[in-house]
């Protein structure tokens, strides 16, 4: 399923109207939950050891996004998919001041996943633990998004 950057921005603004949102590409591929879970199982970022001030939350979020980009690029580079037939996955970085009702200054990821044939949902993803959840405007406060 393909979604435009405009659609994604609207979804994010609907939940967090004051967030600073930057979407870099025009169109994105929304992976299925199964494809995303398979990617998560084999990606390397969450397996890295936390090092305060050196390899911490913003580094996990940045590298998880980068690993999703490289995953799609590898499919094109190895000839498994033609570049005209694929778009980048919707995996971005999100800066938050509250997660699940707990005030914090933290970087995580934001992802959109296909649910069924025509629907898709937005999730927050913690790359350090592998936890994914549907955000709530009261308990999750995002102020900056980069996709």
> What are 101-138's pLDDT values in tens digits?
999 999 999 999 999 888 999 999 999 999 999 999 99
**Cβ contacts of residue 139 below 8 Å, gap of 6+?**
98, 99, 100, 101
Q: Give residue-wise pLDDT tens across range 14-36.
A: 999 999 999 999 999 999 999 99
d(CA 82, CA 78): 10
Question: For residue 59, what are its two tokens?
Answer: 């580094």
Measured distance CA(27)–CA(72) in Å, rounded: 14
3-state helix, strand, coil in the chain (%, to 5): 35, 35, 30
Q: How confident is the model at residue 85 (pLDDT cuts 50, 70, 90)?
A: confident
Closest CA to 86 of 101, 75, 78, 94: 75
How much of the chain exceeds pLDDT 90, in percent?
Answer: 77
Q: What is the pLDDT of residues 57-72, one digit of tens each?
A: 999 999 999 999 999 9
Which pLDDT value is given to residue 116? 83
pLDDT tops 90 at residue 37 = yes
Predicted confidence at residue 129, as pLDDT, reads: 93
Is the pLDDT reported for residue 48 higher than 90? Answer: no
- How confident is the model at residue 118, as a pLDDT? 83
Domain ranges of the chain: 2-146
In this predicted structure, what is the pLDDT of residue 86? 85
- The CATH number of domain 2-146, selected from 1.25.40.10, 3.40.50.450, 3.30.460.70, 3.40.640.10: 3.30.460.70
Classify residue 30 as exposed, middle or buried by CB count within 10 Å of its CB (0-12, 13-18, 19+): buried
Question: What integer best gives the mean pLDDT of the chain?
Answer: 93
How far is it, in rounded angstroms, from Cα 17 to Cα 37? Answer: 29
- pLDDT value at residue 114: 95
């Amino acid at each position: 399923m393909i979604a435009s950057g405009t659609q994604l921005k609207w979804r994010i603004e609907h939940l967090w109207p004051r967030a600073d949102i930057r979407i870099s590409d025009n169109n994105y591929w929304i992976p299925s939950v199964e494809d995303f879970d398979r990617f998560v199982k084999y990606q390397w970022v969450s397996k890295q050891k936390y090092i305060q001030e050196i390899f911490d939350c913003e580094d996990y979020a940045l590298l998880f996004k980068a690993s999703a980009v490289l995953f799609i690029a590898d499919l094109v580079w190895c000839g498994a998919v033609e570049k005209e037939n694929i778009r980048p996955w919707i995996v971005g970085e999100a800066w938050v001041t509250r997660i699940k009702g707990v005030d914090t200054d933290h970087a995580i990821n934001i992802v959109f996943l296909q649910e069924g044939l025509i629907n898709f949902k937005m999730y927050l993803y913690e790359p350090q633990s592998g936890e994914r959840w549907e955000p709530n405007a009261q308990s999750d406060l995002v102020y900056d998004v980069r996709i």
